[in-house]
A and B are shown apart, each in its own frame.
Chain A
């Protein structure tokens, strides 16, 4: 439905087809495919900010294009083919659902480099994957939530029950429980990354159930508005969402893709690009913690910062044993940390969460 901008942009790309073949000293063409609109103030907005930062870094040496609101599925394949045909040298696809389309198109265009965010399939040598360890940021948010809640009920708006989201819920819960043994999590699945009306409704449902701190893993600011009216607090998601500070937004998890985009574009220029998987966290700067406002007591701000620092330095891993799975079976022994493989495919809650993961 949100195809108009896409049609327009595809149309412009198609026009680009008519241009003569790219000469050697022409700027490097870098394409971006977005699942939402760049005005969503969340996930896609942050990718686009990073694109602009990359563009600024390289100046005339790079030309970037983007297509927004591309549905996950067959449409994505068409848009990607179009981009590759019109001379793109490097293409970033920025949503989990683009995994199969990106791999399919990459197989057909061996001379174009493809980078897929949050996926795991690298079928051909011109495919890379990249993601951020958002769960490290979630740990800090969970720490703050556990300290701040008075009703001991923390609400969580999930998008889809996929490993990335489940990991975030577990990480936040573990660190909320660590500072508040009575805390409970209530999870609502919105089954959308972006639908302001449904997200607002989900926030309201959680507040009606007594939640006084809400974490969201959906992309719009609609839950913030509801939180503001109800006087509960929450956290910026993907982007700073600073216009809602000092409350309801008391801090934020910010995705910072710019350094990665710059590094990968440079690699293509230098001819050193190769297929790889990148999973950056607070330490590498891919995940940033937004400014903590005065609504959080000073000692909690200090302890949250200390937690973030210890994660960044590698001293603390958010998934450190002893930890049991939800059904009580042991997962990690005392002092053991989770391996990346388990985290990447995480499909279970840790012990203490009462909700169930829908199938």
Chain B
């Protein structure tokens, strides 16, 4: 019995949406030279706040907004600590993940198993019934389309606008950007909040659309995958999209291969995205001249304004 490629593609798009959202947000953060390892914590907080808000108000839209807002609020803690109080970004980011996981468990007490109102799809059901194209292009929730639009928007802003130029300048050399009169800290804070909102939205998508339930720690490492994805994509927006669909696609495909009774080495398939990420990291660190791989030069460095 074979596998229907259409259902695999439709499934991988949905499965990839949370990590795509989190990764594109984190990419912008890293483009300004800040490494926020708290993606997992922001996602899981977005998941619980999105779910709780949807249950209480009956509106998935408000749920998504709450997810974004809570991710943003959490990222703001990280921003204040690292940008104004100059704390270590790696340690602060890790702490944010631990904090987010604990906070979400606390906020979600009593909510597991609550039922959600259905999320309306933007396209009528009839369009999703069109053979081949229907399930792939028209069968998703609005947030999935938004995630792709967001990738395009980030690509455009970073590559073709003055704002993008400033963001990149801050990430490549914060001292030079500062000397030119750009508000390094303000720009970084805004990027951090954008990243938090994206991660929160990704988490809310997971709880409201994908799983339609809240369970403790439900992101189960998706935030870490998003972080790996940014490196994998070498900080390029369309490669983030490609990478997310690849990561999601491998999961969707290996489960379907199993369901079809085809015996495959599942472990090898499951670990392949991580192996590729490690390879990218090795190549990156092996040779200075490979700066073409695009890591922002000031990534993770503390900025202290002088003069």
A interface residue numbers (CB < 8 A to B): 1-5, 7-8, 36-37, 39-41, 69, 155, 186-192, 194-198, 200-202, 204-206, 208-211, 220-222, 225, 243, 354-356, 358
Given contacts A191-B266, A221-B215, 7 further A-B contacts (CB under 8 A): A1-B217, A2-B101, A39-B105, A40-B216, A192-B220, A194-B220, A196-B220
Cβ of B132 < 8 Å from any Cβ of A? Answer: no
A217 to B: closest C-beta gap in Å: 14
Is the beta-carbon distance between B263 and A356 smaller than 8 angstroms?
yes
Is the beta-carbon distance between A188 and B258 smaller than 8 angstroms?
yes
Given A8-B102, A208-B259, answer yes or no on A41-B115 (Cβ-Cβ < 8 Å).
no
Out of B99, B213, B224, B256, which one reaches A208, CB within 8 Å? B256
Docked Cα-Cα span, A297 to B191, in Å, equals: 58
Is the beta-carbon distance between B252 and A205 smaller than 8 angstroms?
yes
Q: Which residues of A contact B291 (CB under 8 A)?
A: none
Q: Which residues of B contact A208 (CB under 8 A)?
A: 4, 7, 11, 256, 259
B interface residue numbers (CB < 8 A to A): 1, 3-4, 7, 11, 15, 18, 40, 97-99, 101-102, 105, 108-109, 112-113, 115, 206, 210-213, 215-218, 220-222, 224, 251-252, 255-256, 258-261, 263, 265-267, 270
- Max chain A CB contacts within 10 Å: which of B4, B224, B259, B266? B259
Out of B3, B109, B270, which one reaches A39, CB within 8 Å? B109
13 intermolecular pairs with C-beta atoms under 8 Å apart: A2-B217, A5-B101, A39-B108, A191-B270, A194-B215, A196-B220, A197-B210, A202-B255, A202-B259, A209-B3, A209-B259, A220-B211, A225-B212
Given A201-B255, A202-B255, answer yes or no on A186-B217 (Cβ-Cβ < 8 Å).
no
Is the beta-carbon distance between A198 and B251 smaller than 8 angstroms?
yes
Residue of A nearest to B222 (CB): A197
Q: Which residues of B contact A221 (CB under 8 A)?
A: 112-113, 213, 215
Docked Cα-Cα span, A202 to B253, in Å, equals: 10
The 4 tightest CB contacts between A and B, nearest first, are A4-B102, A37-B216, A205-B255, A2-B217
Residue of A nearest to B256 (CB): A205
Residue of B nearest to A161 (CB): B266
B15 to A: closest C-beta gap in Å: 6
Given A39-B108, A197-B220, answer yes or no on A205-B101 (Cβ-Cβ < 8 Å).
no
A14 to B: closest C-beta gap in Å: 17
Docked Cα-Cα span, A146 to B97, in Å, equals: 45
Is the beta-carbon distance between A4 and B213 smaller than 8 angstroms?
no
Q: Which residues of A contact B263 (CB under 8 A)?
A: 355-356, 358
Docked Cα-Cα span, A113 to B227, in Å, equals: 43
Q: Which residues of A contact B112 (CB under 8 A)?
A: 39-41, 221
Docked Cα-Cα span, A354 to B261, in Å, equals: 7
Residue of B nearest to A355 (CB): B261
Docked Cα-Cα span, A243 to B213, in Å, equals: 12
Is the beta-carbon distance between A222 and B259 smaller than 8 angstroms?
no
Is the beta-carbon distance between A1 and B252 smaller than 8 angstroms?
no
- Max chain B CB contacts within 10 Å: which of A4, A189, A195, A243? A4
Is the beta-carbon distance between A37 and B105 smaller than 8 angstroms?
yes
Q: Which residues of B contact A3 (CB under 8 A)?
A: 98, 101
Residue of B nearest to A211 (CB): B259
Docked Cα-Cα span, A205 to B115, in Å, equals: 23
Docked Cα-Cα span, A194 to B220, in Å, equals: 8
Residue of B nearest to A225 (CB): B212
Given A39-B108, A205-B259, answer yes or no on A1-B97 (Cβ-Cβ < 8 Å).
yes
B245 to A: closest C-beta gap in Å: 14
Docked Cα-Cα span, A190 to B1, in Å, equals: 20
Docked Cα-Cα span, A339 to B113, in Å, equals: 39
Is the beta-carbon distance between B215 and A40 smaller than 8 angstroms?
yes
Out of B216, B221, B255, B259, which one reaches A69, CB within 8 Å? B216
Is the beta-carbon distance between A209 and B101 smaller than 8 angstroms?
no
Residue of B nearest to A192 (CB): B220
Q: Which residues of B contact A41 (CB under 8 A)?
A: 112-113, 215
B208 to A: closest C-beta gap in Å: 11
Docked Cα-Cα span, A188 to B210, in Å, equals: 19
Is the beta-carbon distance between B259 and A201 smaller than 8 angstroms?
no
A227 to B: closest C-beta gap in Å: 12
B275 to A: closest C-beta gap in Å: 16
B40 to A: closest C-beta gap in Å: 6
Docked Cα-Cα span, A5 to B3, in Å, equals: 41
Is the beta-carbon distance between A186 and B259 smaller than 8 angstroms?
yes
Is the beta-carbon distance between B15 and A197 smaller than 8 angstroms?
yes
Given A196-B211, A209-B259, answer yes or no on A243-B113 (Cβ-Cβ < 8 Å).
yes
Is the beta-carbon distance between B218 and A196 smaller than 8 angstroms?
yes
Q: Which residues of B contact A206 (CB under 8 A)?
A: 259
Out of A37, A197, A209, A211, which one reaches B206, CB within 8 Å? A197
